[in-house]
Every structure is written in C-alpha cells, then in structure tokens.
Amino acid sequence: MSTHGHWDHIGDNAAVAAHTGADIAVHPLDRERLERPKPLFAPFEIPPSVPAVDLAEGGYIRFGELRLRVLHTPGHTEGSVCLVAEDDGLLYSGDTLFAGGWGRVDLPGGDPVAMADSIARLTGFDDGTAVFPGHGAATTIGRERAWMDLVREGGRLFA
C-alpha cells in the first residue's frame, strides 16, 4: 500500500509484491507514479509496479484485524492519502502530517493550497488520535493541534 507515489514510498513495491503476492494499493491520482516512476533524487532505479487496489476516498482496506478508512489528503502529491483505524484511534498520515509540520509541497504533485485544506481536515480528529507519519517520530493530533488550527483558520500554510 502506498500513501503516495514518491520514490521513497514506492521503491520496493514491485519486490514486495513479487515476494509476498500482496496487492499494491494507491490512490488513482498517483497510479501513474507507480506505473511509470520518475525517481527524482533516488539513489537507485525504481522498477514500475502495477496497482491492483484503488485507495479511493471513503473506501476501506483490511490488514488482518485492522480496518483502515481511506482519506484523500492531497497536497504532497495529487493522490496522497491518510489511513484511519477508527476503532483504534490511529492515523497513518504518510507525508501529509508529521510531528511539527507537513510534507513538502515543492516537489512534483505538491500544492500548498491543497495541503492546507488537508491539514484543516485532519483537525477534525480527537486530540488523542495517534499519528504515524511516513517519516520521523509518531505524534498525536493533540500535540499538533495549535499549529494545525492556525493553518485551518488562516486557510494557508505558514513559514
């Protein structure tokens, strides 16, 4: 499963799928990034992979007992998603939300207006929601609440 289509999140998709037989999943707007990777800054070649599952807004996927709802959260890429385990109070945020900030919007597919909207959307989660980003330390919505509310209220990202 890919929260978005940048090389550092899809680089081993083909190998993992071949080794495990697992289906590859991505939002439809990032599908081409997996099928025709353009590995900007990658230190190795990124083989193409073929997504079998669309991570569409409001859809659900399962990993054993874990049930995850898909939230389309563009901004880092057009097809960025977060995955929510509602019963467990968990948010897998990919590169949308980090401890202390948000994912880059200056790479291909980035959009600061869309990112601000996505961050604003995430303010709707309870403070106790645990956040597991695609990079860096885990956090909670409560720890990030102050700056996230500033983004929501201002309708834009700030420096």
Tokens of 84: 């929510």
| pLDDT tens readout for residues 103-122 | 999 999 999 999 999 999 99
CA 24 to chain centre: 15
Give tens-digit pLDDT for 144-158: 999 999 999 999 999
Residue among 79, 122, 78 at smallest CA distance from 97: 122
pTM, two decimals, is 0.95
Identify the structural domains of the chain with CATH numbers, from first to last: 7-38+46-154 (3.60.15.10)
Low-confidence ranges of the chain (pLDDT < 50): none
